[in-house]
Structure 1
Amino acid sequence: MDAIRHIACLSFAEVMSLDVTGPLQVFASANVERQRQGLPPAYVLHVLGPEAGPVKTSAGFALVAEQAWRDVDPASLDTLLVPGGMQIENLCKDAALLEWLRQAEPRVRRLGSICSGALVLAAAGLLDGRLATTHWADVAALNEHCAVEVQGDRLHTYDPTGRNGDAHVFTSAGVTAGIDLALALVETDLGRPLALAVARHLVLFLRRPGGQAQYSALLTPDPSRTPKLTALLEWIPANLGGDLSLEALAAQAKMAPRSLSRAFTRELGVGPGKYVERVRLEAARALLQDAQASIATVARLTGLGHPETLRRIFHKHLSVSPQEYAERFGRSTFERG
C-alpha cells in the first residue's frame, strides 16, 4: 500500500483563496479517484496559519487553519506549499516564519510556492541558485534577488527528473498555475492515468507543461510612466496591419529613430520591435480565443503576414502553436487556416 502523504498549505491574512484551495482540491480529487478504484486515500490535507482558527482571505471569506505553522514538525509533512496574497510583503519580513521555512526545507520532501509565494521562499534564501517563477506582475520583485535564476515565462519549475527544474524546491506562476503544479505532483506520486482522471473530473487540461509560458495580457502602460510614448502606444494597436518598422514609428512619434529606441528601452524596458511583436501577439491571442478568424486571417490582420510567422512567435513567447492555443482557449471549434 502506498504511504499516505501529508500536504500542507500556509495561510495568512489576505491570502489569495484559490492559491490555497486550487492545489488542495487537486489532491482531494486524487483521493476521490482512488476511492472509486477501491484504493485508500493517498493524501491528508492541512491548512496552517499564524494561529489556529479562521484566516480571512483576499476574497473576504475565511479559511480555517487547523494549526499554527510554528506548532507543526516539518518532518511530519511530505509537501509544504506557500501561497501568494495581498500581504505577501509582511510574510517576507516575518523572521520567525522565514526561519521555520529554512528549517523545514531539508526535512520535507517537497517545498513549493504558488504565485507571489515565491517571494517568501526567496526572502528565506531558499531559491538561491535555483530556477524560479512567479506571477508575471511579481517577476520584477523576484528579480531583485540576484542569486535566483528567474524564468518569468514559465507556469512552474517543478521537474521530478531535475533536468529542467527542481524536484525538491520549486515555484509556480499566477493562481491557476498552482493547479497545474499540483497535477504534476499527483502525476509523479500516483501515475499519469490517475492524474488524467483528476484533470477530467475538474475539467482541466492535463497537463500544461511547467515550461509553458504564462498567458497574461499585455497591459497598456500607465501614461504617467510613458509620457513621451503615450500617443504612439495608443496608435500602434489600431494600426497592426500597417508598417510598424522603427522608421515608421519614429515618423509617427515625430522623433529620430535612435531617440525613439532609447525612449522605449528607458520607459518600457524593451525596444520598439519587441514591443510591436508582443502587441501583435496579444491581438492574435484575442482573435484566436474568440474564434473570429482562421490562422491565416489572424496572421494577416495582425500584420504578421504569413501563418508560419505567427507560429514562430507563438512558440517563442507561449511555447505552443496557434492551433494548440485556439483548441485550448477558443470559444468554439477552430477553423484551420
Structure 2
Amino acid sequence: MKHIVILIPPQTSILDIAGPLEVLSKTNDYIQSTNEQSRTFYITHLISMDNSSVVQTSCGMPVICEGGFSSIFYSIDTVIIAGRGIYNQNIPQNILDYLRAIVKENSKTRIASVCAGAFILAETGLLNGRKATTHWMLCDQMAFQFPEIKVERDPIFIKDGNFYTSAGISTGIDLTLGLVEEDLGRNVAMKIARILVLYLKRPGSQSQFSTILMIQSTDNLPINQIVQFIQEHLSEDLSVEAMADRLSMSSRNFSRVFTKETGISPAKYVEKVRVEAARRRLEESNLSLDQIAQECGLVNANGLRRLFLRHLATSPGIYRKNFGVKL
C-alpha cells in the first residue's frame, strides 16, 4: 500500500484535488475488481497547510482534511501539492521545512505539484538545478522568481528525479496517471484513463498547447468552419486550393486570412492536426502504420514516418513502443 498525501493550500482549485483523487480511487477500484485478494493499493490523505480541518477552495466548496503534517504517523510514498490559490500569501516555514525533511529522510519519496503548487515546491529549494513546469501563464513569473530552476513552458508535466511538476489545473490528472503508470504499468494507467472517459492518456512531453485548442480562439466563422472540416476529414484533400474552394476564396486570400486569424499557415495547421491524430491512434490502437497513415491523409507509412521525424524527432514505431498500449 502506498500513502499519498495531498497538501491543500487555501483557495486552491477543487480540480487540483479532485483530479488526482479520482485517478487514485478508480485505480483502487480497478485493482479490487481484477484481484482475487481484494486490496487497496493507494491510501489518500488530505492535509492542510495550517493544521485546520477545513480548507476553502476557489469555487467556494470546502474540503475536509485530516489536519496538518503533524497528524501524519505513516510512511509517505508521495506528496502532491495542489495549486497555490493566494500568491501574495507567505508559505508557512514549517511547511517548507517539512517537505525538505521528507526528502532528507527518504530520498525515494516522490514530491509532485499541480499547477501553481510548483511555487511552493520551488520555495523549498528542492527544484534548484532541476527542470520544472507550471501553468503557462505563470512560467515567466516562476523563471524570474526562481532563476536556479530550469523552467520549461511546453510540457504538461515533467519528471526530474523524484520531483514531478505539472502545468494547468487538469494536468494533475495526467501527472497522477503518470504515477500510476510508474507503479503499475502503462496498461493499467490506460485502463484508468478509459474508465475516467478521458480523450487519451497524454504523455508528459505533450505540449500544453493543443493545436486544435489553440485555433478555437478565433471568432472568424469561415475559418472556424474550415478548422472543423479539417478535424473531421483528415483523409481527404486538404490542400490550400481545396480548402480555399470550400470557402469560395482565392488560395492567396484564404492563406492570408487563415494565418492572420490563427498565427499559423493552413498547411502547417493541417500537418500539426495530422500529427496529433496519428499520435492518438498509435497510443490507443493496434492499427498498422499504413492504416494510420491513410486515416490521417498521409498515403502510406513512409509519409507518416517523415511527418513524425519532422515534428517529433522520432519515428512512429519508436513512439508506439514508448507510449502505445497493448490491446
With structure 2 as the length reference, what TM-score do the two structures score?
0.68
What is the rounded CA distance, in whole Å, between the counterparts of 1:105 and 1:288 in structure 2? 48
- Are 2:121 and 1:121 aligned? yes
Give me the whole-angstrom Cα distance separating, in 1, the residues matched to 2:225 and 2:100. Answer: 41
Aligned partner (choices 197, 202, 208) of residue 202 of structure 2: 208
Give ranges in structure 2 of 5+ residues lacking alignment.
245-253, 282-294, 298-327
- In structure 2, the partner of 1:105 is 103
Partner of 2:190: 196
Counterpart amino acid of residue 188 in structure 1: E
- In the TM superposition, 1:217-256 aligns within 5 A as none
Distance in structure 2 (CA, Å) of the matches to 1:119 and 1:52: 21
Shift of the alpha carbon at 1:109? 1.7
- Structure 1 residue 53 corresponds to structure 2 residue 12: no
Q: For the residues of structure 2 that align with 1:110 and 1:89, how far apart are their CA atoms? A: 27
Change in Cα spacing, 1:203 to 1:97, as seen in structure 2 (3 Å) is same
In the other structure, the counterpart of 2:149 is 148
Partner of residue 292, structure 2: none
Alignment partners' CA distance in 1, 2:117 and 2:265: 41
What secondary structure, in the 3-state scheme, does the structure 1 residue paired with 2:96 have? helix
Q: 1:284-316 CA deviation, whole Å, 9 max, x = no partner?
A: 899249947758268865246663x3356x39x
CA 1:291–1:20 in structure 2 vs 1: closer, same or farther (change >3 Å)? same
- The 8 Å contact of residues 31 and 40 in structure 2, kept in 1 or not, is answered as yes
Q: Which amino acid aligns with 1:94?
A: P
The answer to whether the aligner puts 1:287 opposite 2:288 as a matched pair is no
Q: Which residue of 2 aligns with 1:78?
A: 77
> Which ranges in structure 1 are unaligned for 5 or more consecutive residues?
159-165, 220-235, 242-282, 328-334
Identity across aligned pairs (percent)? 30
* Cα pair 1:13 1:55 within 8 Å, conserved: yes
With over 3 angstroms needed to count, the CA separation of the structure-2 counterparts of 1:285 and 1:194, relative to structure 1, is farther
Give distance in 1, aligned partners of 2:99 and 2:176.
20
How far off is 1:54 after superposition?
1.4
Letter in structure 2 aligned against 1:148 = I
Q: Distance in 2 between matches of 1:53 and 1:17?
A: 16
Amino acid at match of 2:102: A
Contact kept, 8 Å, 2:114 with 2:165, in 1: the verdict is: yes
- 1:228-278 superposed Cα distances (whole Å, 9 cap, x missing partner): xxxxxxxx987xx9xxxxxxxxxxxxxxxxxxxxxxxxxxxxxxxxxxxxx
Letter in 1 for 2:194: R
In structure 2, what is the Cα distance between the partners aligned to 1:305 and 1:199?
33
Letter in 2 for 1:96: N
In the alignment, the residues of structure 1 paired with residue 158 and residue 224 of structure 2 have an alpha-carbon distance, to the nearest angstrom, of 27
The CA RMSD measured in Å over matched residues stands at 3.4
Contact 2:102 2:109 in 1 (8 A): no
Tell me which amino acid in the other structure corresponds to 1:47: L
Paired residue secondary structure (1:134): coil
> Structure 1 residues 89, 154: closer, same or farther in 2, change over 3 A?
farther
Shift in CA distance, 81/285, structure 1 to aligned 2, threshold 3 Å? farther
CA distance, structure 1, for counterparts of residue 148 and residue 118 of structure 2 = 14
User: How many pairs does the alignment contain?
Assistant: 255
- Equivalent position SS for 2:166: coil
- Indicate the residue corresponding to 1:7 in structure 2: 4
State how far apart, in whole Å, the 1-side matches of 2:178 and 2:33 are.
Answer: 21
